[in-house]
Structure 1
Amino acid sequence: MMSEFDVSLYSDIEPLPIETGLDNELCQIMYTDEYKQVIGIARRLISNGEFSERALDLTSCVIDLSPAFYTIWNYRFNIVTALMAVSGDIEAFLNKELDWLDEVTLNNPKNYQIWSYRQALLEVHPNASLKRELPVLEMMIDEDTKNYHVWSYRKWCVQKFNDFTNEFQFADSLIEKDIYNNSAWTHRMFVLKNLTSNKNEDNWNEQLKKETIDFEIEYAKQKITLCPQNVSSWNYLRGILDKYFDEDYTINGIDEFAIQYIDNIFEKNESELTETNSTNLPQLKSSYALQFVADGYSRIPDKKNMAIKAYKSLSIKYDPIRRGLWNHMISKLSA
């Protein structure tokens, strides 16, 4: 429902038409009379450069009618910055604006302009707080656990406030609900990289970093054990190795951990790894484990032949839809 619109407040405004009136228009948009009136007044106010309370109220109406109208979002922010300067209490004024925005946010989960606007408000807020943002973020993610815009905003928030206190636990709670939630796995990696970065070296000594990284390796392995055919957990483990161990997949026997999910592929002769023999190859617990091992071994000179075997197996049996990729990897290793 549109915010209450009192046209009498704008009786002095001549709406700026939103239709060209040309006879040769390729496709004439059938606007409602309400839409033409509200948008026409808004366009005139923008043209006049009016930053007033009535202009602010009007933008609420426009956003109700067209939440993705980015020009109006920009205009509203300009109004807010003008009014807060004379508000007498900037914090209270912006908190009221955030309260309004919370309601709009919950009613428009896929609107990315909302999140840009929230960022802009927090940047000028004199006492912005992550604590205030978390409830609406949790409600939005509960509604859609893979909403890209919400996750991006959450990342921005925790970086802005440099507060990662609850992020591991938050990601874990979502992974517990859905082990396939790649958004939660990606967020967990984001948190790990930020906590162990050089900018946090005052709070994170080398021992604490090592303990955390070791814990995350075991965490990934435990989730893989629960669900071996889950690309997200394998990618998480791979990301840790690539980031912290110079891509050494043999660290702590991780390659042996992965091999348990790919049967005895490396015991096969080259002659067995062909299209005609593909039906004789065993069923694997995880094709992603096979890719994981192949990628790791491809970086170790004396294990390249094993990597080629793994890529051939993926190509002919376990992941033929990406045959072009696997054959390309084989050609690189064979060169």
Structure 2
Amino acid sequence: MGSNDSEYFSDEEEAWVMYKDRSEWADITPLPQNDGPNPVVRIAYSDTFTDVYDYFRAVVAKGELSERALQLTEDALHMNTANYTVWQYRRKCLAHLGSDLEKELVFCREMIELNPKNYQVWHHRRVIVEWNGHADKELRLTEIIFSQDAKNYHAWEHRQWVLRTYRLYDGELEYVNRLLEEDVRNNSAWNQRYFVIVQTTGYTQDVIKQEVEYTKKAIEKVVNNESPWSYLRGVLQHSEKGLHSVEGLESWCMALHEAGNNSPFLMAFLIDLAEDTMECHIEEREEKLAKVLEWCESLATEHDKIRREFWRYMARHISHKYSV
């Protein structure tokens, strides 16, 4: 049985008529599924599912592109939204019939709201938007989905495609700001922030300074939050000076640590800062190496014990590389 079979027909059980009992389909001979003589696992499809898909296979075999075939694909998709063959055939029907694409977008939105994590329905939506030539409804649609699941990968991928394809970046950074104000741990919003800046202003030195300050404020809210630390690294990689490109960043990190913050993400960043310093300033190696080894052991034994072996490996590696 398709995952949505019972749900789709429960409200219309009495009204539903099997395709085999519909007079307008009398000219079509249903085509049963062929699982071969010895199927490994025989699936117990419902009668309605079997009926719809037997007729769908017959229509595909015949190559019929009609209004009734289009309706048949709708019934088939409500039973199994992930069936890419049905979606593809639906598009063939839509193109052949010159169907109303605005109406199709309405159908597609309904299917997305019922199946927000289904790849096929998002792909179908993209194709219809491309055919239609405008994307004025797409950003709002993704926002509706994010209100239910702020980290829906398919919705974020669709939003980035829309922004990139139709150059709709105005106001996007402000939208990301709102998401991060609501949930500073929203790693998808941090990723979107990086995407938008790369696609628009780029990470100039002024933008880097601005973003470092923004990220520091976010970290101060929740120090033990991996997302802004990852974003901070991503921002600083765009500067020739690397992690030391913004004056005062290291002292800020040290102040956090000395205030009693033992977040593994903070300590890992301090280790990276120290490595950068040792790479460029030989005279500071002995002092920095001692701190790095202290932090690695602290992470291994107290603050990030699940990655104990990693931190002990890092201590050996860094010690071998920078020992005076």
Query: How would you bin the TM-score normalised by the shorter chain?
Result: 0.7 to 0.9
Shift of 1:188: 0.9
Q: How many Å separate the matches in 1 of 2:34 and 2:190?
A: 48
Identity of aligned residues (%): 32
* Structure 1: tracts of 5 or more residues without a match: 88-92, 198-205, 265-282
Q: How many Å separate the matches in 2 of 1:118 and 1:157?
A: 11
Shift of 1:311: 2.6
Q: Does the 8 Å contact 1:51/1:82 carry over to 2?
A: yes
Q: Which of 300, 308, 323 in structure 2 is aligned with 1:315?
A: 300
Q: Does the 8 Å contact 1:259/1:289 carry over to 2?
A: no
Listed as ranges, the matches of 1:10-159 within 5 Å are 10-20=25-35, 22=37, 24-84=38-98, 93-125=100-132, 127-129=133-135, 131-159=136-164
Q: How many Å separate the matches in 1 of 2:155 and 2:138?
A: 11
User: Residue 325 and residue 162 in structure 1: after superposition, are their counterparts in 2 closer, same or farther (change >3 A)?
Assistant: farther
Shift of 1:154: 0.9
Shift of 1:287: 2.3
One-letter amino acid matched to 1:45: V
| TM-score (normalizing by structure 1) | 0.81
Q: Which of 226, 247, 252 in structure 2 is aligned with 1:257?
A: 252
One-letter amino acid matched to 2:88: N
Q: How many Å separate the matches in 2 of 1:325 and 1:164?
A: 40
Q: Which of 242, 248, 254 in structure 1 is aligned with 2:237?
A: 242
Any idea what the Cα deviations from partners look like across 1:56-75, whole Å, max 9, x if unmatched? Answer: 11111011000111111111
Aligned residue pairs total 297
Q: How many Å separate the matches in 2 of 1:67 and 1:111?
A: 7
Q: How many Å separate the matches in 1 of 2:249 and 2:78?
A: 53
Residue 290 of structure 1 aligns with which residue?
Answer: 267
* Structure 2: tracts of 5 or more residues without a match: 1-7
Listed as ranges, the matches of 1:191-206 within 5 Å are 191-197=196-202
Q: How many Å separate the matches in 2 of 1:309 and 1:167?
A: 43
Q: How many Å separate the matches in 1 of 2:273 and 2:28?
A: 68
Residue 3 of structure 2 aligns with which residue?
Answer: none
Q: How many Å separate the matches in 2 of 1:287 and 1:17?
A: 58
Shift of 1:34: 0.5
SS in 1 for 2:312: helix
Residue 267 of structure 1 aligns with which residue?
Answer: none
Q: Which of 162, 175, 179 in structure 1 is aligned with 2:180?
A: 175
Q: Does the 8 Å contact 1:67/1:111 carry over to 2?
A: yes
